[in-house]
């Protein structure tokens, strides 16, 4: 479906403009958002790679840029000194509300012409296309808050060595 690809490109284009004041790319923003939802969990680079279906070199570059910009820090995993965990910096944590507002603006820029019913239908159809069982009984996605919370709670309650490597 070429329309889905066009929508994804349009979303990134709008997100780039909205995120410009924060000097973030859409991909960097997605990782920061993911880390906010993971607060307290031991998140490693491989967890980010798997969650977003990104390659190791892509995530390495994104994390390097986020670290240089002061958004994240890497810490030695207290349970396994061979691995690092990714944490948001204090500066990033202080900007949580601002970043949340950016996310709302991006979404609203795409769906502002839809009625409430159309928005609900769109969400159900998009979740169905992802074809993953959802905590709500519908389908699980990687971006709606209930699904992300469900995923992150699973990470947060497990010790780092119990998380799939």
Instruction: Sketch the domain layout of the chain as residue ranges.
Output: 2-162
Q: pTM for the whole thing?
A: 0.74
- E-strand ranges in the chain read 72-77, 80-88
**pLDDT above 60 for 10:** yes
pLDDT, tens digit, for every residue of 57-97? Answer: 999 999 999 999 999 999 998 888 888 999 999 999 999 99
Q: Give SS3 for 120.
A: helix
Q: Half-sphere exposure of residue 94, counting CA atoms within 13 Å on the CB side?
A: 6
pLDDT, tens digit, for every residue of 32-58? Answer: 999 998 887 889 999 999 988 899 999
Q: What is the pLDDT of residue 54?
A: 93
Q: What is the pLDDT of residue 74?
A: 94
Counting Cβ atoms within 10 Å, is residue 153 exposed (0-12), middle (13-18) or buried (19+)?
Answer: middle
Q: Give SS3 for 79.
A: coil
Residue holding tokens 């998140």? 43
pLDDT, tens digit, for every residue of 105-158? Answer: 999 999 999 999 999 999 888 888 877 555 545 444 455 555 554 444 444 433
- Closest by CA position to 13, among listed 113, 95, 110: 110
**pLDDT above 70 for 3:** yes
Q: What is the pLDDT of residue 132?
A: 59
2-162 topology per CATH: Arc Repressor Mutant, subunit A (1.10.10)
Q: What are phi and psi of 12, to 5 degrees?
A: -65, -40
């Amino acid at each position: 479906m070429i329309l889905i690809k066009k929508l994804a490109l349009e979303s990134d284009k709008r997100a780039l403009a909205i995120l410009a004041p924060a000097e973030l790319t859409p991909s960097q923003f997605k990782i920061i958002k993911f880390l906010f939802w993971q607060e307290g969990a031991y998140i490693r680079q491989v967890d980010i790679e798997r969650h977003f279906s990104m390659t190791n070199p892509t995530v390495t570059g994104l994390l390097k840029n986020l670290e240089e910009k002061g958004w994240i820090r890497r810490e030695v995993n207290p349970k396994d000194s061979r691995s690092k965990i990714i944490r948001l910096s204090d500066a990033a944590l202080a900007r949580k509300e601002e970043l949340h507002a950016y996310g709302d603006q991006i979404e609203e820029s795409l769906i502002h012409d839809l009625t409430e019913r159309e928005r609900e239908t769109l969400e159900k159809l998009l979740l169905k296309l992802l074809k993953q069982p959802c905590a709500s009984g519908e389908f699980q996605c990687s971006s709606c808050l209930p699904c992300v919370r469900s995923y992150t709670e699973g990470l947060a309650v497990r010790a780092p060595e119990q998380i799939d490597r």
